[in-house]
Amino acid sequence: MRAHIWAAALIASLLSRTAAAEGLSPQPPSSSAVSLPAPTVSSAKRPLPDYDGRGPAPKSAGDIALWVPRIVLSPLYLTTEWIIRRPLGAGVSAAERAGLPNILYDFFAFGPDHKAGIIPIAFVDFGFNPSFGVYGFWDDVVFRGNDLRAHLSFWPAGGGAEGRTPSWIGASIVERVHFHKSSSIEIKLQGSRRPDQVFYGIGPNTLQSAQSRYGVDKLDLGVKFDFPIWRGSKIDSGVGIRAATFYDGHYGGDAGILQSVSAGVFPLPEGFARGYTAQYSDVLVALDSRRPYPAAGSGVRLEAQAEQGSDVRQSAASGWLHYAAGAGGFWDVNENRRVLSLSVLAMFSDPLGGRPVPFTELVTVGGDIASPGSFPAPMPGFFPGRLLDRSAAVATLRYKWPIGPWIAGSLQGAVGNVFGEHLDGFDTRLLRFSGAIGIETDSSVDSSFELIFGVGTETFEHGGQVDSFRLALGVTRF
């Protein structure tokens, strides 16, 4: 009954305010009007009682340890927190409230249960031609567990010399069949034509000032088997054939590789003149104690991989062997996917036979920030292909934190470099530093979004000055 009385009082109060706002005089109450008790003034909100009598939850070691990197990295923390994470989180929340994800999903996806769709994509890596294109997907084609993925990206013109405007294009199609317990078999065909790849020479002491451009036409057809075995552990193996043809390249005012060779900046790299067609087979074994998302991200990872290739254009003795090993420790400092990691990685490339390894099959350092399911990409502050030689060693300290669903921030610093055969000539004075901060997604093995700003230095022996800058934004590129 009291609830009804209070409701009547509230309605009467609203009517009275509405009449006053419209310049009307409310009718005086009749003698038969109900006399309502005056509402009591609400008191201040009382503190939450300690119902279980155990007091506040104690601070964990992770909560306490977080203060150290927060103080040391407070400028970067404020930048990532208030310029990246909070605005992005607010934008995601506003988009969800407006139903924008569903609107876009319904627009770009179609078919029964929205199992197929076409999505526009773009990637801009300053210092290279940008790319624009489409990404298509189709799940459960013909039968359940058979998925198709396709990419098409292109750029119609680049800064060619002598009035030329060389275009580039990249495309791929993947069919993946899933089996019991997430095992899968994948068939992939990928091809690309790019006139703007970078080359600086081979070895640990190459200079940024030696930057030149070459073009490459590549075609890769392969079959891969993926066998998850325990938590994040897996075994991957595959076979395929890869072909590459090289030519003089151009971008902006940079010299073509042939111009730099003529000027004596570096010798013509092995394999440039003739290209190669290689049959290859590879295997990766990873032991990873981390559980899948959204479980806490603490654990360790040990990884070894190898790839054997044979150039079928040349004699049977023309081939190479890539192999690498890495180890990493990952600490989720507060059990909320804020992960601090330290990893080390060593990579090698050896000839099988009397001919040297083609330059694009050497060990390379530099590239994209995202490396789904594995270690952080080695030294992403440098352009892809910035450092080339027979071996490399890299150590990376990284902090990764969640920003939104399937989106994470990444802050990392790394030291390393390339060296000669089996780390021949390794010297701490020849190491370089790479630092990068960015955003990445890790929800798909087929495409990922990344935003990265990175820097790289010359060798410490050369002064360690920053001379490489990287800014990239967009979805998976070729």
Neighbour tally for 50: CB within 10 Å: 9
Distance set, CA 243 to CA 85, 97, 193, 309, 350 (Å)? 42, 49, 12, 11, 19
3-class SS letters over 144-198 = CCEEEEEEEEEECCCCCHHHCCCCEEEEEEEEEEECHHHCEEEEEEEEEEEEEEE
Q: What is the pLDDT of residue 162?
A: 45
DSSP secondary structure, 31-75, as one string: TTPPPPPPPPPPPPPPPPP-TTS--SPPPPHHHHHTHHHHHHTHH
Q: Using one digit for the tens of pLDDT, what is the confidence trace for 336-375?
A: 888 899 999 999 999 988 889 999 999 999 876 544 445 6
Residue 109 gets which letter from DSSP?
E
Residue, of 83 and 372, whose pLDDT is higher: 83
Amino acid in the structure at residue 148: L
Q: Using one digit for the tens of pLDDT, what is the confidence trace for 104-138?
A: 777 788 877 888 999 999 999 999 999 899 999 99
**Tokens representing 388?**
């080339």
pLDDT band at 376 (very low <50, low <70, confident <90, very high): low
Q: What is the pLDDT of residue 249?
A: 92
Q: Using one digit for the tens of pLDDT, what is the confidence trace for 1-23?
A: 433 433 334 333 433 443 343 34
Lowest mean pLDDT among 145-149, 206-210, 349-353, 367-371: 367-371
Write the CB contacts of 222 (distance below 8 Å, at least 6 apart in sequence). 187, 188, 238, 239, 240, 241, 242, 280
Amino acid in the structure at residue 450: E
Q: Using one digit for the tens of pLDDT, what is the confidence trace for 20-29?
A: 433 444 444 4
Q: What is the pLDDT of residue 246?
A: 96
Lowest mean pLDDT among 43-57, 397-411, 449-463: 43-57
End-to-end CA distance of the chain: 72
pLDDT band at 63 (very low <50, low <70, confident <90, very high): low
Between CA 298 and CA 330 the distance in angstroms is 5
Identify whether the C-beta of residue 409 lies closer than 8 Å to the C-beta of residue 438: yes
Residue, of 432 and 445, whose pLDDT is higher: 432
SS3 state at 403: strand
